[in-house]
Structure 1
Amino acid sequence: MIDPVDDKHILTGLDAHFSYQIHQIGTEKQPLIIIDHYLAEADKLIDFALQQNNVLPASGMYPGLRSPVPNAYKNLVLEQLAPLICQTFSLTPDAIKKVDSYYSLVATPVEQLQPAQRIPHFDQPNPDEIAMLHYLCGEQHGGTSFYRHRQSRYEYIDTGRAKDYFGQLDAEVARYGMPQGYIDGDTELFERIVSVPAKFNRLLIYRCSSLHSGDIGADYPFDMDPTTGRFTIASFLHA
């Protein structure tokens, strides 16, 4: 087993089969990077997580549990991915100097969801902040979808759009009501513009302002075992 205090030997670099595609999604052409075969020996990240004793309910709106990742993971993001990210999202190197990363496991039953957890969300209303989702599970656990708000046609929310968006959303919820479960496809308020299946060691990179949600189906088993559940690493890159 890996010593959780000494994390520098967990990661050896990018996988030998590392590959990526860059997409422009939706009518607003927001960038999306999909990386397959991201890290060599990615299963060691699960071994590390299993030794941690600081797993807690997530702060904010994530519907589940979170715990810190090894520092080596965050360092590798900056060392290996920063040039690709800056080029794709038209950022200067100073825009992504810091990385916040968390092991994440969906754990909140439908009946305990808050209203904001039942619809697509954005992480920050700042297009210069970047989100990453690294799958440490397989396709059976559901992927990630990106959405368009039907009435406004917004596919991302920045500070200039936020007031208008939330005003329209409040009026629609008053009219149609709030969905009772996780969103997993088209609804009266939102339409799915693209869905990316989960795949072990797949990494998605997108703007924090993009409307998105995990694909959590009605039959999701809420498996609390990181070796068999919907286990991911969520990261946020910022200045």
Structure 2
Amino acid sequence: MLELSENICVRKEFVGTEKTPIIIVDNMFKYIDKICESVRVNAKFNVQNGNIYPGLQAGMFRDFGETFLSYAKIAIAGEYDGVSKLQCKPYAAFFSMVSSPSVALSFKQRIPHYDHNSPSSFAVMLYLAEGDFGGTAFFKHNKTQFETVDERRKACYATELESLEVNSASEFKGYHSLESPHFTAIGSVPYRQNRLLIYPGNLLHSGLIKEERDVFVSPQQGRLTANLFLRYE
């Protein structure tokens, strides 16, 4: 069931003025429908403490995780300079489903975010479910012009977000969209079943979520993704 497709298609794109590379892989798994159904039936979804994901998550199955990680490491080593000499350290792996209504979102869940400050960290996401769901977009913070947030920018960006929350929180009504006076979209990747997306963890990003289209509490209907987070040291 975990065989890779014979029709894998890999492309690399660069987003923003910083030309941050992202990898898009289409047709990753040969039996994606069977994998998706296994997740729907067997994954134990619940709220995970300690992250800002706006929904339910489940621990990744070991056999799926091993295959997923193996391919991700090959793709990253082939497209990102320097990481092949570093040790890969996975630090989180989940199946995820957006389920939080807009009114329940915190301020941080209403704006683009980054996952890790290291330029050698990566988010790996597979769109699992078939359906007309929202994809993923990447952003520039207009005031600072930051598209990525590394250790040098971390303190400055945190200060700007505190100010934004105090002065402009009411402007963020729900899930983030492509239109915002405070962030400008620099690229996006549409949702497509069996599409894998890899991007540096310090790149500002957000799911393009619409409540009526993407928010469900049932795995049979939900926007299911597999999410893996890696750090190279």
Q: TM-score, normalised by structure 2?
A: 0.91
Partner residue, 1:6 = none
One-letter code of the match for 2:215? F
Secondary structure, aligned partner of 2:156: helix
* Inter-partner Cα distance in structure 1 for 2:79 and 2:17: 17
Question: Taking structure 1 as reference, are residues 159 and 220 closer, same or farther at Cα in structure 2, changes over 3 Å only?
Answer: same
- 3-state SS, counterpart of residue 176 of structure 1: helix
Residue correspondence of structure 1 range 1-239 to structure 2 within 5 A:
10-12=1-3, 14-52=4-42, 54-59=44-49, 60-90=51-81, 91-98=83-90, 100-138=92-130, 140-178=132-170, 179-220=172-213, 222-239=215-232
Task: Name structure 1 gaps, 5 residues minimum.
Answer: 1-9
Alpha-carbon RMSD? 1.8
Please state how far the C-alpha of 1:89 moved relative to its aligned partner.
Answer: 2.2
Seen in structure 2, the aligned counterparts of structure 1 residues 42 and 99 have a Cα distance that, compared at 3 Å, is farther
Structure possessing the higher relative contact order (Cα contacts under 8 Å, 6 or more residues apart): 2
Runs of 4+ with >4 A deviation: none
Given that 1:138 and 1:198 are in contact with CA atoms closer than 8 Å, whether structure 2 keeps it comes out as no
Structure 2: give runs of 5+ residues left out of the alignment.
none
Where 1:155 maps in the other structure, the secondary structure is: coil
The whole-number CA distance in structure 2 between the counterparts of 1:79 and 1:218 is 34
What amino acid is aligned across from residue 213 of structure 2 in structure 1? Y
Q: CA deviation at 1:97?
A: 4.4
Shift of 1:234: 0.9
CA–CA separation in structure 2 for the residues paired with 1:150 and 1:156? 12
Q: How many residues align?
A: 229
Q: Provide TM-score, normalisation by structure 1.
A: 0.88
SS in 1 for 2:147: coil
Alpha-carbon offset, residue 237 of structure 1: 1.6
The answer to whether the Cα contact below 8 Å between 2:9 and 2:27 also exists between their aligned partners in 1 is yes
